[in-house]
Amino acid sequence: MLARREFLRTSLLATGAAVCSKPRTLVAASASDSRIEILLDEPLGVISPNIYGHFTEHLGSVIYDGIWVGENPSVPNVNGIRKRLVDELRKIKAPVVRYPGGCFADSYDWRDGVGPADKRPRRTNFWGGTEPNHFGTNEFIQFCSLAGAQPYLAANLRSLPAEEFYRWVEYCNSPAGSTTLADLRAASGSAESFHVRFWGVGNESWGCGGNFTPQEYAVEYRRFVTWLPHYGNGQDLFLVASGPYSEDSSWTRGFFEELLRKGSDQLNSVDGLSVHHYAWNLSRGRTTDWDKGKGSALEFEPVDWYELLREGQRIEEIIGNHWRALGEYDTQHRIKLIVDEWGPWYRPGSEATPGNQLEQIPTLRDAIFSAMTMDIFNRHPEKVAMANCAQLINCLNSLYLAHEDKFCVTPVGLVFGIYAAHQGGQSIRTVISAPPIRYDRDGKTAAFWGLQGSASLRGKDLVLTVVNPHVSEPRETAIDLKGTRVASASATTLSSTDIHAHNTFREPAALVPQSKPLTLSSPAFTYVFPPASVTCLSLSLA
């Protein structure tokens, strides 16, 4: 068998079928211990483009210096908004951006961020320091429109009355000239309605958003959403209830139980349930302390690599558990899950710009983590309607790092670029089997899956994304399209021999994806996924 595999490899190479910069990934028929079966006749649902969404908060340098560069002439900008950022967001088809928080949202008065810039008040920011309010609703909407993304606003439920939620909706959505707030919007240069559809009703209401019990929050929720202005523009508001942190399904159950005490029609007041999950505890069971449990973003061993991925993988079970809990009340499953904060969270110390709060430099490990997470969302299209990576720039799992005129795309940003191909595709059931990875966890053997991924189909274009998380071993895999032939194919891979690889302002292209065409002579073929890699196979079906 080995000899036959070698023969096929050699003959494919001889035809020039696989053009690769590194002599590793080739196509041939073989019997491997890893398999991917793509069941083209088993569609799972359309992958909402919004699962590739983003999150921006008035926190550290996300807004100021990240998005908003104001009058700084040394940074190319469009009306104060960093031009390179919106150019990059267009490239990855950014679908939606959440704003203004996070915890900041529940201490924010939206009125502070509208009207003439020189009249806006300075406030104490939730995260410390002074909030100048140079960037507010109009600037955010302009940012979204430049980026080609929809806005998703999080309302303040902890420290403003329900009336202010109502007024913010009115400010954003009332037709030109119809209300005093529409006039105020126009005075800031935006006569036309912003048509904001997505609204979060508070954020982490179990914690920084008010320390509510789920029952208390349900009472507030009912009051906040009982009557909101609608303007008949064909776009109903999509209301997202603040959900649990990670696996706490007692929150989900408590919230719906209390909400429905006023009758089953209350269910119609919720469109999405927010779920947050951060992978932060790399202590291998030593502590659950939020500060002590975190690891380093840049200095890590293979065991930390696998531990982070294990922590991230939990999101799949979390999605399943909340979906089941939701189904006890919403038996038709009209309400969807909105994973509006996700990503790894490391201890301070790897800021690209010293002093930037919560900023960390993403490495190849975070690219693998992000690809794995997006594959999970792809595999559950009926459950997850939106997800927002925390956070877009100069923060946790950022796609971009920027400081003044310096800018770089992180490995996470590169993965978003690769995975954009899945947006709006039909998710296809894909059965992946591979021997698990075994690694040493403090003298005991621990296991992590050997290969995972997802597939989607749009017309005749099949996209298969696959993560090989093994830090050092390639994974030869038999891929079976069940008889469907491929007319043309290409592979894009993000990988490095250095698991710590990352981009910086000085070396912005230390890690970049490599693409190559492939020739596949049969619907069943073998592909070798390099170690520590994210691969996208784009297959045009015959």
Q: How many CB atoms lie within 10 A of CB 236?
A: 10
| 136 near ligand AHR, rule: CB under 6 A | no
Nearer to ligand AHR, 339 or 396 (CB): 396
Q: Where are the alpha helices (DSSP H) in 287-395?
A: 302-327, 364-379
How many residues lie near ligand AHR (CB under 6 A)?
Answer: 10
Contact 319, 380 (CB under 8 A): yes
By CB under 6 A, tell whether 103 contacts ligand AHR. yes
State which residue, 60 or 469, has the beta carbon closest to ligand AHR.
60
Of the pair 95, 200, the CB lying nearest ligand AHR is at: 200
Contact with ligand AHR (CB under 6 A): which of 139, 341, 359, 476? 341
Cα separation values, 215 from 238, 264, 520, Å: 22, 16, 57
Which residues have C-beta within 8 Å of that of residue 481, sequence separation ≥ 6? Answer: 38, 40, 462, 523, 524, 539, 541
530: DSSP letter: P
- Confirm or reject binding of residue 503 to ligand AHR (CB under 6 A): no
Closer to ligand AHR by Cβ: residue 395 or 471: 395
For residues 152 and 101, the answer to whether their CB atoms sit within 8 Å is no
CB of 80 vs ligand AHR, minimal distance in Å = 24
Q: How far is the CB of 291 from ligand AHR (least distance, A)?
A: 14
Q: Which is nearer to ligand AHR, 70 or 102 (CB)?
A: 102
Which residue among 220, 307, 341, 359 is the active-site one?
341
- Considering beta carbons, is residue 98 or 185 the nearer one to ligand AHR? 98
User: Vertex 272, ends 271 and 274: CA angle to 5°?
Assistant: 160
Q: Which helix (H) or strand (E) holds 276?
A: strand 272-279
Tokens of 264: 């089953």
As given in the structure block, the two tokens for residue 130 are 């002074």
Q: How far is the CB of 285 from ligand AHR (least distance, A)?
A: 23
Query: Counting contacts by CB under 6 A, is residue 390 touching ligand AHR?
Result: yes
**Contacting residue, 49, 52, 57, 315, with ligand AHR by CB under 6 A:** 57
Nearest to 494 by CA among 413, 393, 390: 413
From the list 241, 254, 152, the residue with the least C-alpha distance to 202 is: 241
204 binds ligand AHR (CB under 6 A): yes
Answer yes or no: are the C-beta atoms of 204 and 103 closer than 8 Å: yes
Nearest residue to ligand AHR, by Cβ distance, number only: 102
Q: Is residue 295 near ligand AHR by the rule CB under 6 A?
A: no
The bridge status of strand 272-279 relative to strand 336-344 is parallel
Q: Which is nearer to ligand AHR, 400 or 527 (CB)?
A: 400
Of residues 395-414, those binding ligand AHR (CB under 6 A): 396
DSSP state of 107: G
Instruction: Please say if 341 is a catalytic residue.
Output: yes
Q: How far is the CB of 242 from ligand AHR (least distance, A)?
A: 9
Measured distance CA(66)–CA(94) in Å, rounded = 16
The helix (run of H) or strand (run of E) holding residue 109 is: none
281 binds ligand AHR (CB under 6 A): no
Rounded to a whole number of angstroms, the minimum distance from the CB of residue 275 to ligand AHR is: 12
Question: Does 60 engage in binding with ligand AHR (CB under 6 A)?
Answer: no
Distance CA 6, CA 12 (A): 10
Alpha helices in 332-471 (DSSP H): 364-379, 411-419
Distance CA 242, CA 337 (A): 11
Terminal Cα distance for the chain, rounded = 29
The verdict on 70 binding ligand AHR (CB under 6 A) reads no
Catalytic residue among 57, 131, 139, 204: 204
Q: Does 203 engage in binding with ligand AHR (CB under 6 A)?
A: yes
Least distance (Å) between residue 352 CB and ligand AHR: 17
Q: How far is the CB of 270 from ligand AHR (least distance, A)?
A: 19
Exactly one of 49, 102, 113, 244 binds ligand AHR (CB under 6 A); that residue is 102
Tokens 């079970």 found at: 317
204 a catalytic residue: yes
Measured CA to CA, the distance from residue 170 to residue 372 in angstroms comes to: 39
Closest CB to ligand AHR among residues 393, 528? 393
Interface with ligand AHR includes 340 (CB under 6 A)? Answer: no
Binding site for ligand AHR (CB under 6 A): 57, 101-103, 203-204, 341, 390-391, 396
Catalytic residues: 204, 341
